Amino acid sequence: MLAPVQDTSNETRLARARRLRDVEERRTRRFLLAPALLVIGIFGLFPLTISMLYSILTPGTYGGVTWKLSGEAYLQFLFERDIFDGSLSLSSTYLQIYGRSIGLALVATIGALILGFPTAYFIASKPREQRNIWLFLITLPFWTNLLIRTYAILLIIRDEGIINLGLMSVGVIETPLNILYTDGAVFIGLIYSYLPFMVLPLYASLEKLDFKLVEAAYDLYANRFQVLRRIIIPMAKPGIVAGCILVFIPGLGAYITPELLGGGKKLMIGNMIALQFGSSRNWPFGSAAALILMVVVMAALLIYVRNAGKQGAHHG
Partner 1 sequence: MADAALSPMKGTGLDEAEQGRDMVLVDRVTKEFGRGEQAVTALDAVSVRILENEFFTLLGPSGCGKTTLLRLIAGFELPTRGQILLDGQEIGHLPPYKRPVNTVFQSYALFPHMTVSQNIRFGLEMLRKPDAEIEQTTRAMLSLVRMEALANRRTDQLSGGQQQRVALARALAPRPKVLLLDEPLSALDLKLRKDMQIELKRLQNETGITFVFVTHDQEEALTMSDRVAVMQAGNILQIGAPKEIYNRPAKRFVADFIGDINIIDATLGNVTGAKGQVTLPGGASLTAYLSDSSISQGAVSIAFRPENLRLVAPDDAAASVIGQIENVVYFGSGSNVHVRLENGTTVVVRTSDSIGALDARTGVEIPEEHVQVLVD
Partner 2 sequence: MVDLSFRRRRMQDLRKQPGFDQIAIACMFVLYAPIVVLVVFSFNDNRSVVRWTEFSFRWYAAAFGNDGIRNATLVSFQVAAFATFFSVIFATMAALATTRTPAFRGQTAAYAIINQPLMVPEIVTAVATLSFFAILKRLTGVTGIGYLMVAHTVFCIPFAYMPIRARLEDMNLSLEQAAADLYATPLRVFWRVTLPLLLPGIFAGAMLAFVVSLDDVIITLLVAGPGETTLPIYILGQIRRGITPEINAVSTLLLGLTLIFVTLFFFLGRKRT
CA distance linking residue 262 with residue 67, whole number of Å: 35
Per-residue mark of binding to partner 2, 229-248 (x: CB under 8 A) = ---x----------------
Per-residue mark of binding to partner 2, 10-49 (x: CB under 8 A) = ---------------xx-xx-xxx-xxx-xxx-xxxxxx-
Phi, psi (degrees; rounded to nearest 5) at 56: -110, 20
> CB-based contacts of 98: which residues, under 8 Å, 6+ apart?
269, 292
CA distance linking residue 88 with residue 24, whole number of Å: 62
Distances from the Cα of 258 to the Cα of 194, 216, 278, angstroms: 14, 47, 17
Answer with the entry of partner 2, partner 1, none that 161 interacts with (C-beta below 5 to 8 A by kind): partner 2
Residue 127 Cα to chain centre, angstroms: 31
Are 189 and 141 in contact by the 8 Å Cβ rule? The answer is no
Answer with the entry of partner 1, partner 2, none that 170 interacts with (C-beta below 5 to 8 A by kind): none
CB of 107 to partner 2, least distance (A): 17
> Per CB under 8 A, which region of 3-11, 80-88, 174-182, 292-300 contacts partner 2?
292-300
> Per CB under 8 A, which region of 2-10, 69-77, 267-275, 308-316 contacts partner 2?
267-275
Which amino acid, one-letter code, is at 292? I
Answer with the entry of partner 1, partner 2, none that 21 interacts with (C-beta below 5 to 8 A by kind): partner 1
Q: What is the number of other CB atoms lying within 10 angstroms of the CB of residue 300?
A: 16
> CB-based contacts of 167: which residues, under 8 Å, 6+ apart?
173, 177
> Is residue 77 close enough to count as binding partner 2 by CB under 8 A?
no
How many residues bind partner 2 (CB under 8 A)? The answer is 88
Answer with the entry of partner 2, partner 1, none that 10 interacts with (C-beta below 5 to 8 A by kind): partner 1
Q: Which of residues 131-190 bind partner 2 (CB under 8 A)?
A: 136-141, 143-149, 151-156, 160-162, 165
- % helix, strand, coil for the chain, step of 5: 75, 5, 25
CB of 311 to partner 1, least distance (A): 25
DSSP structural state of residue 153: H
Nearest to 108 by CA among 180, 179, 194, 182: 194
CB of 5 to partner 1, least distance (A): 6
CB of 215 to partner 2, least distance (A): 6
Q: Which residues bind partner 1 (CB under 8 A)?
A: 1-3, 5-7, 10-11, 13-14, 16-18, 21
Torsion sign (Cα): 265, 268, 270, 276: positive
CB of 6 to partner 1, least distance (A): 8
Nearer to partner 2, 136 or 221 (CB): 136
Are 119 and 126 in contact by the 8 Å Cβ rule? The answer is no
Nearer to partner 1, 16 or 306 (CB): 16
Which amino acid, one-letter code, is at 111? G
Nearer to partner 1, 18 or 306 (CB): 18
Answer with the entry of partner 1, partner 2, none that 213 interacts with (C-beta below 5 to 8 A by kind): none
